[in-house]
């Protein structure tokens, strides 16, 4: 896991204190689906930011690939210039970077001759730019295009080179256990696991990465991180947005496949894993896989599925899921999932993990809430009317990245009363600027660090956990847009709406709810 220096750079390739950041090796970065939404919104801007911070100064040639045979280098460069946010730097600097580093190659329908031409183009660019066969292939493609593209690369001999070859695969990796196993077999037919980088952008968020540091660099918390001291763990990923323009994908995926199997499960694994033997990819992945394999079978009465109906977001009316363009009027696709999960291991026996995600929720929020056990005897009952409240650690991933620890203090003066305050750490306050997740992940890719990428065994272990739930036949429960999900959720998740404290509560100037 490679941290990015996000402070202003005093000179090209240098940090303000004069240190030279570790740059990447000269390489060629090939993007399949280079004219698509993900490439334009995330990948290309992230690559430019790495250049701005001097992290690819030794050379990184970007070769865009798509089916558009009418496009050429000049046309694709125009696409890239438009994709870079205007506030990323002077237009002359952006244009200079684009003209020097951006190229394009069509692949038509992906026939063997198309991949042979792609190989010839790559080798030509490597010769022209003195790159010693070091290549990354990023599949920014619909899942159904993965198999043919992987097979095409392998058949053309693009799965190996004189230097190194790396394959990046976006989620979803399969749609169930059999399809994930089949895709893994195909990948391993041409690529070794050490070459494969399955990307989950949640793992690139600074707060997610800092969770490892928080747990394992602070013995105070790690000593409490077990069933003796923790009552429950709640992981919430709530979105205000609806299905937007993704109905074609979402109708066949749903929240369980789209969010739970990937993002929420990765967060669960990081919270629940044992201490790795070293801070390196193999050791961390091994402990994550152990945690996933310890998940007990999920009972039917420990899962609630929902689908948003018409409602209001920020005071404005919004349609229900079945009224969205491209969605069947009789759709049974879930847009909300709540689960109670238990781990059968020594550390977490008897501690419920509550997972909750949904679209058209009350507001956008991603948090991990660790609720510690209450004091076994409430000694203050004779002097205070306050009821005992558990200490709670809240790790917020979005929108305001940081950590909050709720605890009790005595309020000044008389009568004797307790007040609930917070200790807090806010990334914006401390560091001002945070790298976008794709910047972190792409830099790790170029450096060959697999720590924040998902192993094949993780993917299969995760799908194995949720396989019984994928076979559900009952329709989802309706919930109004702008709420926290179906009323039935209260049967498995504590009746505590996730919410961030107010600014006053962050500073401790009023009682926290």
Distances 236 to 227, 481, 501, 512 between C-alpha atoms, Å = 21, 17, 16, 20
**Residue closest to 363 by CA, chosen among 263, 513, 485:** 485
The active-site residue, picked from 51, 53, 201, 263, is: 263
Tokens of 53: 């911070």
Tokens of 28: 């060629």
**Residue closest to 99 by CA, chosen among 83, 81, 87, 118:** 81
The residues that bridge with 105 in the sheet, in sequence order, are: 65
Tokens of 202: 């949640």
- Beta carbons within 8 Å of 426's beta carbon, 6+ residues apart: 400, 401, 402, 506
Contact yes or no for 135/28 (Cβ under 8 A):
yes
What Rg value do the Cα atoms of the chain yield, rounded? Answer: 24
- Beta carbons within 8 Å of 64's beta carbon, 6+ residues apart: 31, 34, 35, 39, 76, 79, 80, 102, 103, 104, 105
Distance, CA of 256 to CA of 492 (rounded, Å): 17
Termini Cα distance of the chain: 36
What SS3 class is residue 484?
A: coil
Tokens of 208: 């997610």
Question: Known catalytic residue: 53?
Answer: no
- Beta carbons within 8 Å of 156's beta carbon, 6+ residues apart: 112, 115, 116, 118, 119
> So which residues are the catalytic ones?
263
């Amino acid at each position: 896991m490679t941290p990015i220096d996000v402070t202003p750079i005093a000179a090209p390739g240098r940090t303000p204190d004069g240190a030279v950041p570790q740059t990447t090796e000269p390489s060629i970065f090939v993007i399949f689906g280079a004219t698509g939404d993900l490439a334009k919104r995330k990948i290309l801007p992230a690559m430019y930011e790495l250049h701005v911070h001097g992290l690819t100064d030794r050379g990184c040639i970007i070769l865009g690939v798509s089916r558009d045979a009418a496009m050429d280098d000049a046309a694709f460069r125009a696409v890239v210039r438009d994709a870079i946010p205007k506030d990323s730097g002077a237009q002359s600097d952006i244009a200079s970077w684009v003209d020097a580093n951006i190229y394009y190659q069509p692949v038509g329908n992906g026939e063997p001759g198309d991949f042979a031409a792609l190989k010839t183009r790559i080798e030509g660019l490597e010769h022209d730019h003195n790159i010693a066969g070091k290549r990354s292939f990023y599949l920014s493609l619909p899942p159904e295009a993965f198999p043919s593209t992987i097979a095409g690369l392998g058949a053309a001999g693009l799965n190996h080179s004189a230097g190194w070859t790396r394959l990046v695969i976006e989620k979803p990796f399969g749609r169930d256990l059999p399809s994930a196993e089949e895709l893994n077999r195909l990948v391993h037919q041409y690529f070794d696991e050490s070459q494969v980088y399955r990307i989950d952008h949640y793992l690139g968020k600074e707060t997610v990465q800092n969770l490892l540091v928080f747990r394992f660099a602070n013995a105070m918390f790690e000593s409490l991180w077990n069933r003796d001291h923790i009552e429950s763990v709640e992981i919430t990923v709530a979105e205000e947005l609806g299905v937007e323009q993704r109905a074609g994908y979402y109708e066949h995926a749903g929240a369980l496949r789209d969010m739970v199997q990937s993002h929420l499960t990765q967060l669960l694994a990081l919270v629940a894993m044992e201490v790795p033997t070293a801070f390196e990819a193999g050791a961390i992945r091994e402990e994550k896989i152990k945690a996933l394999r310890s998940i007990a079978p999920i009972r039917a009465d420990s899962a609630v599925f929902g689908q948003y109906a018409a409602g209001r977001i920020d005071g404005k009316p919004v349609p229900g899921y079945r009224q969205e363009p491209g969605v069947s009027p009789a759709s049974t696709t879930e847009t909300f999932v709540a689960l109670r999960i238990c781990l059968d291991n020594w550390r977490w026996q008897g501690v419920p993990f509550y997972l909750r995600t949904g679209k058209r929720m009350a507001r956008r929020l991603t948090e991990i809430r660790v609720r510690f056990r209450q004091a076994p005897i409430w000694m203050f009952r004779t002097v205070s009317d306050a009821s005992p409240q558990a200490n709670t650690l809240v790790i917020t991933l979005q929108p305001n990245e940081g950590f909050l620890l709720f605890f009790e203090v005595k309020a000044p003066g008389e009568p004797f009363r307790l007040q609930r305050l917070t200790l807090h750490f806010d990334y914006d306050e401390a560091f001002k600027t945070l790298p976008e997740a794709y910047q972190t992940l792409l830099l790790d890719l170029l450096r060959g660090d697999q720590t924040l990428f998902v192993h094949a065994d993780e993917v299969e272990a995760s799908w194995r956990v949720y396989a019984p739930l994928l076979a559900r036949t009952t329709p989802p429960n309706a919930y109004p847009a702008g709420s926290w999900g179906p009323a039935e959720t209260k049967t498995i998740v504590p009746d505590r709406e996730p919410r961030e404290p107010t600014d006053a509560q962050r500073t401790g100037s009023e009682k926290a709810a």
